[in-house]
Amino acid sequence: MKKTLVRALKRFAAAGAVVLAAVSLQPPPASAAPAPIVGGTRAAQGEFPWMVRLSMGCGGSLLTPQIVLTAAHCVSGSGNNTSITATAGVVDLQSTSAIKVRSTKVLQAPGYNGSGKDWALIKLAQPINLPTLNIATTTAYNSGTFTVAGWGANREGGSQQRYLLKAQVPFVSDATCKQAYDELIPSEELCAGYTSGGVDTCQGDSGGPMFRRDANGAWIQVGIVSWGYGCARPNYPGVYTEVSTFASAIKSAAATL
């Protein structure tokens, strides 16, 4: 992929799923069946209790009861910000039992300029009494099979979902991922997906976590949904922020909020 094209696509994606739906990159084949995330299934209520939907159309995860970890490209900068609503505690965004809390502050990754460093923190007005998701602090879990979840599009140009969807995607090495994306930043980004495509995150999943089980069987976040060329295309894996690279920066930033 040409760097400039992918940059443009990333900016385009950040502009919002509504716009994207109207001017899809490329229509899916008529045979493409609507599938969750792309190629996933519905998550059970309570299965991923730390999943958060953000009102700008992104995902996120509870880093602490009062701080959501999301993508830098989902926010417009740092500072006081009461415009974002976080919805949590439900797989059904329309559920009357949804917990909805406003933001108070946003912290975008220092030095974020549209390539790499795709992480941000959102401070909530009140803590949410739900389990949090630990972040990986070493590279130990940056391989294997990952789980992704979100309310984003179920295909390129598809609509945002009412119910939380999940899927599993295998790790893709930096060397293989570089073949698809010459602009990949291997130290800051982690790739996942099938060579044959078919399963992937998509527009509106951004900011949400990619996670797996650690040695103790606990969920651990290894990635943040960041970008890709289209969704679920063969030979174009999803690209995720490599959480372990930024774990100490994320924790020290969280301590300032």
Active site residues: 73, 118, 206
The contact mask relative to ligand ARG for 175-214 (x = CB under 6 A, - = no) is -------------------------xxxxxxx--------
> From the CB of 241, what's the least distance to ligand ARG, in Å?
11
Is the CB of 66 or the CB of 181 nearer to ligand ARG?
Answer: 181
Integer Cα distance of 243 and 249 in angstroms: 10
Please, is 149 exposed, middle or buried when counting C-beta atoms within 10 Å of its C-beta (0-12, 13-18, 19+)?
buried
> From the CB of 238, what's the least distance to ligand ARG, in Å?
3
Least Cα distance to 184 among 193, 197, 175 occurs for 175
Q: Which of 106, 191, 231, 253 binds ligand ARG (CB under 6 A)?
A: 231
3-state class (DSSP) for residue 90: coil
> From the CB of 50, what's the least distance to ligand ARG, in Å?
19
> From the CB of 242, what's the least distance to ligand ARG, in Å?
15
User: How many C-beta atoms surround the C-beta of residue 45 within 10 A?
Assistant: 15
Should residue 228 be labelled a site residue for ligand ARG when binding is judged by CB under 6 A? yes
CB 224 within 8 A of CB 119: yes
User: How many C-beta atoms surround the C-beta of residue 57 within 10 A?
Assistant: 21
Contacts with ligand ARG, residue ranges (CB under 6 A): 13-14, 152, 200-206, 225, 227-228, 231, 238
